[in-house]
A = this chain, B = another copy of it.
Amino acid sequence: MIQNMTENQITLHIINALKENEKSTFDSIVDELQPYDIAQIYESLPDEHRTHFLLFLNMDLLANLLEELNKEEQLEVLNKLGIEKTGKVLDLMDNDDLASLLNELSPKRIEQLLSGMKKEESLIVQNLMNYPDETAGRLMTNRFVWIRDYYTIREAVDKLKSFADFAETLSYLYVVDQKRKLVGVVSYRDLLIAEPQEKIRNIMYERVISVSVDQDQEDVAQTIQKYDFLAIPVVNEENVLMGIVTIDDMIDVVIQEADEDIQKLSAAGKAIDFDTKAIVAAYRRLPWLILLLFIGVVSGSIISNYSDILSKVVALSFFMPMISGMTGNTGTQSLAVIVRGLISNDINKKIVTHVIIRELAVGLIIGLTCGIFITLIAYFWQGDPILGFVVGSSLFFTLIIGTLSGTIIPLILYRLKIDPAVASGPLITTLNDIFSLFIYFGIAKIFLTHLL
Contacts and interface: CB of A to CB of B under 8 A. Distances in A.
Interface of A: 2-3, 32-36, 157, 160-161, 164, 167, 169-171, 187-189, 191-193, 205-207, 209, 221, 224-230, 247-248, 250-252, 254-255, 258-259, 261-263, 265-269, 272-274, 276-279, 281-282, 285-286, 288-290, 292-293, 295-297, 299-301, 303-304, 307, 310-311, 314-315, 317-326, 328-330, 332-337, 339-341, 343-345, 351, 354-355, 358-359, 361-362, 365-366, 369-370, 373-374, 377, 381, 429, 433
A321 B303 contact: yes
A441 B325 CA distance: 19
Contact of A258 (B262, B296, B334): B262
Contacts of A288: 329
A250 to B, nearest CB: 7
A296 B325 contact: yes
Given A265-B336, A282-B361, A286-B365, 16 more contacts: A35-B228, A164-B189, A188-B192, A254-B255, A255-B343, A263-B340, A265-B265, A265-B266, A274-B358, A281-B362, A282-B362, A296-B323, A297-B322, A299-B322, A303-B318, A321-B324
A282 B191 contact: no
Q: How many copies does the complex hold?
A: 2
A228 B296 CA distance: 46
A192 B227 CA distance: 26
A288 to B, nearest CB: 8
A188 B224 CA distance: 21
Contacts of A359: 278
Nearest to A307: B314
B299 A321 contact: yes
A330 B3 CA distance: 46
Contacts of A318: 300-301, 303-304, 307
Contacts of A289: 326, 329-330, 366, 370
Contacts of A377: 293, 297
Nearest to A184: B3
A419 to B, nearest CB: 15
Contact of A321 (B207, B229, B320, B362): B320
A-B complex: 4 closest residue pairs judged by Cβ atoms:
A296-B322, A258-B258, A278-B361, A266-B336
Given A290-B370, A317-B317, A335-B266, A193 B325 contact: no
20 contacts: A2-B207, A169-B230, A229-B248, A230-B247, A258-B259, A258-B262, A262-B262, A266-B335, A267-B329, A268-B333, A268-B337, A279-B365, A290-B373, A293-B370, A296-B319, A299-B321, A300-B321, A300-B322, A311-B311, A321-B324
A282 B160 contact: no
Nearest to A277: B358
A77 to B, nearest CB: 19
Contacts of A358: 274, 276-278, 281
Contacts of A336: 262-263, 265-266, 268
Contacts of A328: 325
